[in-house]
Homo-oligomer: A and B are copies of this chain.
């Protein structure tokens, strides 16, 4: 029988996440952990962002999926360095997986490391990967009640991207209600509305990321992760 000590694992994860962050800081690489439901449009958002960021930030991506390499194939097609992690059943990425995957990259050739987490609005909330910024994506087709039902992930994010806004006319999603929910859960968080396929709002989000990335390396006394968003 396998004995799993839950608290010990989380403590080990946090420690390794700090080590990941220290390595990123030392190299001046800004890391973003992108979380959200399956199919909320994380990969399509990255495709749009990388187009806008060309010549401004040199990105690389770690793709997390239970199985398959659909997303990594899409990022690879853009000429962006990418590593696919197959979690084989695990419902979130953890700091150990990131440490292993990041070894594939030449940090000297990068400014931005984007980690696309497993599609999961619950379990990804609890695991610090060593990122500087956590960005939660919520598509309008999911409904604006998700902030009430899954508060932790919004509470622990530094920015909310309301995605697929081109579908707004065909849904009952209310931007105001979602934004109010986010302000309640994470008062300091930035809120963006993006239609990645049509390009709406992509420039605003890209500009904001460039600005955020300038702050790396941050002071180790106040790691961004420990800040309330």
List residues of chain A with CB under 8 Å of any chain B CB: 1-8, 37-40, 65-68, 70-71, 89, 91, 118-123, 139, 141-143, 145-146, 148-152, 164, 166-167, 170
Contacts and interface: CB of A to CB of B under 8 A. Distances in A.
Nearest to A167: B170
B166 A70 contact: no
A124 to B, nearest CB: 10
Stoichiometry, as copies per complex, reads 2
Contact of A167 (B121, B141, B149): B141
A122 B121 contact: no
Given A38-B149, A66-B152, 4 more contacts: A3-B5, A38-B146, A139-B141, A141-B141
A89 B4 CA distance: 19
B5 A2 contact: yes
Nearest to A153: B66
Contacts of A7: 1-2
Contacts of A65: 149
B4 A151 contact: no
- Most chain B CB within a 10 A radius of its CB, from A2, A38, A67, A71: A38
A143 B65 CA distance: 15
